[in-house]
Chains A and B, each alone.
Chain A
Amino acid sequence: MATFLGINLFGLFGQLLVGLINGSFYALLSLGLAIIFGLLKIINFAQGAMYMLGAFFAWMALQYMGINYWAALIFVPLAVGAIGILMERFLLRPIANEDHLYSLLLTFGLALILQGAFTHMFGSSGMSYAIPEELKGGNRLPFMYLPNYRAWIIIASLAVCVATWYMIEKTKLGAYLRAGTENPQLMQAFGINVPLIVTLTFGFGVGLAGFAGVMAAPVYSVSPDMGSNMLIVVFAIVVIGGMGSIGGAILTGLGMGVVEGLTKYFYPEASTTVIFAVMVIVLLTKPAGLFGKEA
């Protein structure tokens, strides 16, 4: 077995890969949260439920309608995004001028309702979703075995994250978003329909969670609590990265996945808590987060 300075490279790279995969999901979810928080100042507790919806929609589409993975990858995020749009328009907008605590509680309640409804319909044990034919198998690399689907997760998530980052930081549409985050009232006075942008942004942020859900279906068990388990970690990551920073959300998501993976190798007992330990350290030393702007 390959070792270096007494480290089992096979095991180390294996955990690094797991870390990168978890990190890809963290990045997608915290990116969605950061986008929504930036423009709407809403902390969307339903983001995890939307991720769960994404996985279930993909599973149901395959089971009931024979819609395959590739089609689901396109249409499920759109469907989840559409649910987000309805949610923003009819539930969040009426309380938009209230204290942000209300929207936080509302999204939290929605998450519980969705999770409860899916537990009622499908039970809590979880279902499996087959890896698509095209991505079965894998490659033997010098220090590890890399399954194709896992490589695909990392590549596709990164591509979506980078494309989103580019859209927000480098395009005119993104300039509207950034400016709308800063001073929505003045944007209206310039003739820009800010409420429409808010609705579409919420839909997009939620759609990202739906996309992550489809990606996750073949590797994690499709179960009603998959979102809530994920969300707690993702919130810690958002706190570490700093709310509202797009690039920060992506880098912190991936980075924390890797930190978690490395901890699993070197000191497995701490692997589930290491992210929260990092959060505490960051909060003590840099309260606005690693990439956040000091208020």
Chain B
Amino acid sequence: MSVVGDEKIRISDLHAFYGESHILHGIDMTVMQGELVTLLGRNGAGRSTTLRSIMNMVGRRTGSININGRETIDMSAHKIAHLGLGFCPEERGIFSSLNVEENLMLPPAVRSDGMSVEEIYEMFPNLYERRMSQGTRLSGGEQQMLALARILRTGANILLLDEITEGLAPVIVKKLGEVLLKLKERGLTILLVEQNFRFAAPIADRHYVMEHGHIVEEVHAHELEAKAEMLNTYLGV
């Protein structure tokens, strides 16, 4: 197990808006160094918006978002990544006008000890084979690997991952689970938005359950069994 230490993300009373619509209604949460925390909930509960708010990609946000002890609520979007954040968007955000290697090398380093390109190609051999292909010609799974690899190279040590298993074959989902565990062993802090509870349950330390832009429940890994019923009512369809 990794050592759990300092607070990497502390969010208090976060409200977020897209134009006139008020999406997040006062979120409070913390993620500690080395933790893997998931945001669970139904579609539209505000989980992706929480990640996008951290990156300042929403229309307007109020409250407080502390990253590594720095208040970021008034920080411009392009400065936030340099606090050590890596964001992997739900739609993966692979650039079609760039080839695989250009996509991989695109984001500037935000910390000095990122994974080297060799390490990344070792972790994702498919990307090496297809490094000259157009980014969007990769399969869905390969695109997801690329989106993840891209932020690992920057040295980001806080990863915000949005629905990385969505629409992928079970064998690739399994591979992603292994990758996340490896990253956890390296001491990275991960905040994961996940629909696939069976994927998230065995690897996460903690879960926040969201509904209608609120956090309605916090569940520690060891409480999962006891709270299974409650989780089912929140997550079931």
Candidate in B56, B95, B105 with the most chain A CB atoms within 10 angstroms: B95
* Cross-interface CB contact of A189 among B80, B96, B105, cutoff 8 Å: B80
Which listed residue, B79, B98, B110, touches A175 by the CB 8 Å rule? B98
- Say whether, besides A172-B105, A175-B102, A185-B57, A191 and B96 are in contact (CB < 8 Å): no
Nearest CB on B from A190, distance (A): 4
| Cβ–Cβ < 8 Å partners of A199 in chain B | none
Contact present for B95 and A178 (CB under 8 Å): yes
Which residues of B sit under 8 angstroms from A183, Cβ to Cβ?
93, 95
- A176-192 CB mask vs B (1 if < 8 Å, else 0) is 10110111011111111
Q: In the complex the two chains form, what is the Cα distance from A59 to B12 in whole Å?
A: 62
Tell me which of A186, A189, A194 has the highest count of chain B C-beta atoms within 10 A of its own C-beta.
A189
Closest residue to B95 on the A side, CB-wise? Answer: A179
> Among residues 102 to 152 in chain B, which have CB atoms less than 8 Å away from a CB atom of chain A?
102, 105-108, 110
| Residues from chain B with Cβ under 8 Å of A193 in the complex | 78
CB distance from A35 to the nearest CB of B (A): 14
Given A179-B106, A194-B78: A189 in contact with B97 (beta carbons within 8 A)? no
Question: Chain B residues with Cβ under 8 A from A181's Cβ?
Answer: 97
Interface residues on B, range: 20 to 34
Query: Are the CB atoms of A178 and B97 closer together than 8 Å?
Result: yes
Q: When the two chains form their complex, are residues B55 and A179 in contact, meaning their CB atoms are under 8 A apart?
A: no
Shortest C-beta distance, B85 to chain A (Å), equals 8
Instruction: State whether the Cβ of B81 lies closer than 8 Å to any Cβ in chain A.
Output: yes
Partner of A179, one of B56, B89, B98: B98
* Chain A hits for B56, CB < 8 A: 188
CA distance in complex: A41, B173 (Å): 38
Q: Is the interface of A mostly helix, strand, loop or mixed?
A: helix
CB-based contact B96/A190 at 8 Å? no
Question: How long is the Cα–Cα vector from A14 to B193 in the complex, in angstroms?
Answer: 67
Task: Confirm or deny: B203 has a beta carbon within 8 angstroms of a beta carbon on chain A.
Answer: no
Whether a CB of chain A sits under 8 angstroms from the CB of B212 is no
The yes or no answer to B82 lying at the interface (CB within 8 A) is yes
Given the complex, which residues of B lie within 8 Å of A188, measured CB to CB? 56-57, 77-78
Chain A residues closer than 8 Å to B96, beta-carbon distance: 182
Q: In the bound complex, how far is the Cα of B96 from the Cα of A175, in angstroms?
A: 11
> A187-B78, A191-B78, A191-B80 provided; 20 other pairs, C-beta below 8 A?
A172-B105, A175-B106, A179-B97, A182-B95, A182-B96, A186-B87, A186-B93, A188-B57, A188-B78, A189-B55, A189-B80, A189-B81, A189-B89, A190-B106, A191-B81, A191-B82, A191-B108, A191-B154, A192-B78, A193-B78
9 closest Cβ contacts across the A-B interface? A191-B81, A190-B107, A188-B77, A178-B97, A189-B55, A186-B93, A193-B78, A179-B95, A188-B78
